Every structure is written in structure tokens, then in C-alpha cells.
A and B are shown apart, each in its own frame.
Chain A
Amino acid sequence: MEWAWLIPIYGFGAFGVIALMRENLPDRGRFLSVLAISAGFATFWFVLQDFLEHGVDQYHFTVEWFTAGRIDVALGIIVDPLTVIMLGLVTFVALAVQIYSLGYMAGDKRLPWYFGVHSLFAAAMLTLVLADNLLLLYFAWELVGLCSYFLIGHWYERRSAAEAAKKAFITTRIGDVGLLIGILLLVVNTGTFDTLEVLERVSHPAPGQELSNLLVTGSALLIFLGAMGKSAQFPLHVWLPDAMEGPTPVSALIHAATMVAAGVFLVARLFPLFEASGDALTAVALIGLITALVGASLALVSTDLKRILAYSTMSHLGFMMLALGAGGFTAAIFHLLTHGIAKASLFMAAGSVMHAMDGQTDIRRMGGLRRRMPLTAVAFTIGALALAGIPPLSAFWSKDEILIAVQKGLNPAYLIFFLLAIVLSALYMARATRLAFYGELSADAEHAHESPLVMVIPIAVLAGLSVVIGLLALPWGDTYDGIGSFLFLQEHGPHGFEVVAQWTVASIVLAGGGFAAGWWLYDRRRDLVDSIRIRFGALHRLVERKYYLDDAYQWAIDQVVLRASRGVAFFDRRAINDGGVDGAAASAMNAGRALRHHATGLFADYGVSMVLGVIGIGLFFWLRA
């Protein structure tokens, strides 16, 4: 178990070799990259086995890193249920996505770089989940963002891809600034970077060392700002749909299962901090709920298959944040797991469609694809049903957990909106599935064909897993009493599997009803859809324009940021450069020009000055004596 730190090391090593050797590697680096992540996945199993043998607990392994003044920074890892689940999810999805990429990215001209950065990304994400101190965590956090930038902008010759990469990087940076300030606030006030120690100081302070409520709430909110950026929470979500410009496997890995989950992971890791400040927890719940509704509504009107999935991801990340805000630690991470797997398979299926239709993503031009690519269609349908929350597929179980958590932890208004989000989520999934894969075969889909096996098998494995992974919620055997007995906050202790019949029924009815309604509307009654669209024209336009958020941001950038920047640039040019830098140089030159005349270059003049100087010194000492 103490060897868990090896899991990210493989990826860092693979990146180093691939980045240096590039095209000189046999197989253009693909083999090495897949080997590294496979090694990580294999090591994960040893860690898991060791972890289960030693009993479910929190293990902390650490070595000294460096000391600066009074602050010791250790380099170490935490192995606890949260980490183990994340390790499994990240290594598995990364492995599946890399194998899928072998087919999807075949023939790409920057293939070695793609696989190298893929390895680096996986390594950074694994470091992030293992990190035992806030500094290492922040480091991995930024590295993850950087890799996301590289991968979204992989086809940077396309202007939209380059722009999307920049947008993603800058938007998440805005949150990261908050994260950094929040971390520094905590470190300055507790004197340590060690995550567990910081949390201990926050939740069980020694007498006289209590941190003020303002500080706890402030740092929790600032850290949550970082989580909002990475996890595409409203209003910092705008980068996620644009990030779909990247290669689809990248979306499957980064924008479904891993990087966007980092924000949820961060809040879960620092959960005691949020719990110590009730206000921060309420903010998390509120932002999560808004994100869930905004994402779901945007997914409902989008006509781009990948963007529908992106908005759906955003909506589900909102679910997770809502669960965390309700105190449902287990529910949130469980949903992270089930959603990650189902969404990765959905993205890969969407990529398979794009592969077959020359990069087409507009669902209005698809239709009947199941006749041409049956395996992809089945996988997509399973993923969609799973995410819609249809029992017994995976997300049903986690959504149920969230429902119970919300019902216990928050006031009923949240519950009502959450139920609405569940309906919407089933509705847009039905719409996307129906329009893309069922019904009449569209003209554009005529020449579509099933993708090669190297792509279909990972999709099938993930889709299969998204059927069964939800069963982790149930008690198995004598020792395993549902997910709640494995993944829990130590503070609160384990809790068994529980079902509240009325909420389960409600969730089944709403999800099933939503899915059926969506299917019916788009299968039989398109006219009804159109009339609804016309009836609520203003609302539809509002959602279709993404609540004018992008426009608002663009306005803010043009009118505020750029104007202010121009002012600063003017000040820099005139005052700092012309006045300060050039001014200082000019005054030195002028002084030199004025003073140069004393030097005549004539020997006699120097001789006279020397003699006069000696006489002067002689007189000075003579008179003084």
C-alpha cells in the first residue's frame, strides 16, 4: 500500500521518455504510454488488495520534502477509501481511453505528443488524488489544467480549438487563484501544509488555537472557487462545452471522468473544512443545484452531440456538489464513480459516431445510426439509460443516495429542484439517444460504419461496467455492507445501505417518466416539440443563447478587462518605460555629457591638476597640524 506512490510515477516516466524521443520511439510512443497506464492499473489492484487486507482506514505515508523557515513540507500520500476509488476510476478510464485512442487517433501527425500528454495527465490526476499536502495537491491541480490545455488544443491548427483551449485554461485559472489564496490562508494560519493536520486543526482545534469562523468560511469558499472552475460549476462552466473541440477521447477522459471530477474530489477531501463552516456548505449546495439545472436545460436545447454530453456532465457535477453540500459525502463520490464510467462510455460512443460520420456532431443530421453501428448504439443507449437513472443501471443507485442525502440535509426546496433536474436529465438523454441512433436512417448516416474493434471494445467494457457498478451500493457478503460502509467520513462513521421507499419510487417514476416522455416526444410528436418551442420562444432563445453568459463574459472582457488593460499598458509605456527606465538612462547620459568637458586629454593639464592636488593635500595636513 505504501507503494501506491508508484502509480503516478509510471505516467511521469512515460511522458518524459515520449516527450524526448517523440517519433524515434518504436510504435510512435503508443506502446509505452499504454504500458505505463496498464502498470498503474495493475498496481492499483495490489494497493486495493493490500488496503482491504489491512482494513478500511486512512493510511498516511510520508517522507520529508523540504523545510522553509518554520514550515516543513512533507512529500507523501494518503491512502483511504476516497483515494482508492479515485485511483481505480482514473487508471481504469485512462486505460480504456488510451486503448480507444489507438483507433481514434490513428494517423494523427502529433501522435507521440498526444500519448505523452495523456500519460502526463493521468500521472498528474493520480498525484492529485494521492497528495497528502496542499502544496503537492495544488501542483498536481495546475498540471492537470495544463494537460487539459494541451489536449483540448491538440488540433491547434483549427482556430476554434486553440480558442477553446485558451478559454478552458483561463477560466479555470480564475478559480485556481481562489484555490491558491484559500490554501495559503489555511497554511499561514495553521502553519502546516499537511492536509490531514490542517483539517484536524480546523475541526478539532486545541484550546486557544481555534480558527475564526470568518477565516474558515473564507478559505473554504476560496477553495470552492477553485473547485468551481475545474468542475465546471455555474458561472465558471463556460469552458466545458467549448472544450469539446478537443479530440473525443480527451473529452471522455478529462471532461467526463477525471479532471472535472477533481473539483468534487477536492471538496470531498477537504470536507471537514466545509463542514466546520456551515455557510460554505450551503454555498456548495446552492451552486451545485444551480449548475445541475442550468446544465440540464442547456443540454436539452443543444444540437451538438458532444455538447449535450458536456452539459450533461456539468449537470451531473452539479448533482455531486449538491450532494456534498447536503453532507452526502458517500453519495457524491459514488455518483462521481458511476457518472464517470457511464459518461466516459457515452463520450467514446459519440466519438465512434464522429469517426463514422467524418466528424459530424450535429444530432439533427444523424438518425437511425443503430442500423449502421449497432454496438455503438447499444453502448450509447446503456450509458444514456444509466445516467438517466433507470434501475438497475449504475447512476440510479448513486442518484438514490444523493436523493436521500438531499432530503436529510437540506430544506425541501432543494429536493423539489433536484427532482426537476432528474426529470430534465432523463429527458435530454432520451432526446439525444432517439435523435442520433433511432428512427429513420438519415442521408448523412448512409455511409456510416461500425468503428474498429480497438475502439468498440473499450466502449463495450465501460458500458458493461456502467450496468453493474451501481451494485456496489448493495450489501455483498458479510463484510461489505454497501458503499456507505466502505466510503465514509471518519468523523461520521460508516453507515449501511438504506432505501427510503417513497424516494426510490419517486426517483424511478420521474426518471423513467422523463425518459419515456422524451422518447415519445421526439419519436412520435415532433410537432408538439415545435409548438412548445414556439410557445416558450423567449425562454427557448434564452437557453439557446446559453443564458447570454458567454455574451456577458465577452462584453466584460471587451469593455472592462481590455479597457483596463489598455490603461495599464498606457501607464506602463508612458510612466514606467518612458519615465522610469528610459528616463533614468537618459538622465545618466545627460549628466555624462555635461561632465565630460573636464577631460581634455592633454598631458600637461593632468600634470597641473595632479600637482595642485598634491599641494592641496599637503596644505590641508600642514594647516591642520
Chain B
Amino acid sequence: MTLLHFEVLGAALFCLGLYGVLARRSAVLVLMAVELMLNAVNVNLVAFAAYRGADHVTGLVIAIFVITIAAAEVALAMAIILRLFRTHGSVNLDEIDVLRG
């Protein structure tokens, strides 16, 4: 298990997440894809931290931060999605274009 394996895993997860964000229509799935991207980054951070040795905990700390903020972000995003559903009766992002110029 070298660093490279983790890098590939992180990149793969990130690309999956990106694909999900861009291609999915359901707001809930887009939110899940965003979570996936965040976790891809976390994998990278932890991997580099482990690679650099036990004295260097910066990566670990940042990963903890990312997890915390992701939790908060999910709460916020779920609230927004709920409001969307209330007002539009749907969470299909293709149908929601109130900001069109």
C-alpha cells in the first residue's frame, strides 16, 4: 500500500463526485456527490499525513475540520432542499431556473 494507491483512490472518488454534481438532476443526489468530493479530499489529507510521519498532524487536523464543516453544510443544504421542495413541488434542478436572466 503505497501513497500512490491512496492518491488514485482520492482522485477516483473526486471524479465520481464531480460527475455526480454535474450530471445528476436530483438535488439530494447532487448533495451526496458533494459529500463524496469532500471525502475524496479527506482521503488525500489523511494519506499525506500518514506518509509524513507521526510528528506531522496538520493533515489530520484539517481532515477533522472538513468533516465538521461537511456536517454543518449538510444541515444547511438539506434545509435549502426542503424549502425548494415546498415552493416548487420538486427537487429536479433542471426545472428550477428562477435566476434566469
Chain A residues with CB under 8 Å of chain B are 595-604, 607-608, 611
Contacts and interface: CB of A to CB of B under 8 A. Distances in A.
Contacts of A602: 93-94, 97, 100
A601 B97 contact: yes
A518 B100 CA distance: 94
A596 B101 contact: yes
B51 to A, nearest CB: 23
Contacts of B23: 604
Given A608-B22, A611-B18, A611-B22, A603 B100 contact: no
A599 B101 CA distance: 5
Which of B18, B27, B99 has the most chain A CB atoms inside 10 A of its CB? B99
Contacts of B101: 595-601
Contacts, number: 33
A599 B27 CA distance: 19
A616 to B, nearest CB: 15
Nearest to B95: A602
B8 interface: no
B88 to A, nearest CB: 12
Given A599-B99, A600-B97, A604-B23, 17 more contacts: A596-B101, A598-B101, A599-B101, A600-B100, A600-B101, A601-B96, A601-B97, A602-B93, A602-B94, A602-B97, A603-B27, A603-B30, A603-B93, A604-B93, A604-B94, A607-B22, A608-B22
Contacts of B100: 599-602
A52 B97 CA distance: 91
Interface of B: 18, 21-23, 27, 30, 93-94, 96-101
The 9 closest A-B pairs by CB, nearest first: A596-B101, A601-B97, A601-B100, A599-B101, A601-B99, A603-B93, A607-B22, A602-B97, A607-B21
A617 to B, nearest CB: 16
Nearest to A604: B22
A112 to B, nearest CB: 62
B61 to A, nearest CB: 25
Contacts of A604: 22-23, 93-94
Nearest to B24: A604
Contacts of A600: 97, 100-101
A603 B21 CA distance: 9
A600 to B, nearest CB: 6
Nearest to B23: A604
24 contacts: A595-B101, A596-B101, A598-B101, A599-B100, A599-B101, A600-B97, A600-B100, A600-B101, A601-B96, A601-B98, A602-B93, A602-B94, A602-B97, A602-B100, A603-B27, A603-B30, A603-B93, A604-B22, A604-B23, A604-B93, A607-B21, A607-B22, A608-B22, A611-B22
A149 B97 CA distance: 65
A281 to B, nearest CB: 75
Nearest to B98: A601
Contacts of A601: 96-101
A73 B10 CA distance: 77
Contacts of B27: 603
B26 to A, nearest CB: 11
A397 B93 CA distance: 103
Contacts of B18: 611
Contacts of A607: 21-22
B66 to A, nearest CB: 18
Nearest to B93: A603
A596 B101 CA distance: 5
Contacts of A598: 101
Contacts of A603: 27, 30, 93, 96
Contacts of B30: 603
A597 B100 CA distance: 8
B18 to A, nearest CB: 7
A600 B95 CA distance: 11
B13 to A, nearest CB: 16
A602 B99 CA distance: 8
A270 B45 CA distance: 89
A596 B18 CA distance: 27
B91 to A, nearest CB: 11
A608 B23 CA distance: 10
A72 to B, nearest CB: 59
A71 B16 CA distance: 76
A267 to B, nearest CB: 70
Contacts of B21: 607
A596 B99 CA distance: 10
A139 to B, nearest CB: 56
Nearest to A606: B99
A608 to B, nearest CB: 6
A603 B31 CA distance: 12
Contacts of B93: 602-604
Nearest to B97: A601
Contacts of B22: 604, 607-608, 611
B25 to A, nearest CB: 8
Which of A597, A599, A602 has the most chain B CB atoms inside 10 A of its CB? A602
A597 B97 CA distance: 13
A596 B100 CA distance: 8
B55 to A, nearest CB: 29
A558 to B, nearest CB: 55
Nearest to A593: B101
Contacts of B98: 601
A287 to B, nearest CB: 71
Nearest to B18: A611
A185 B99 CA distance: 62
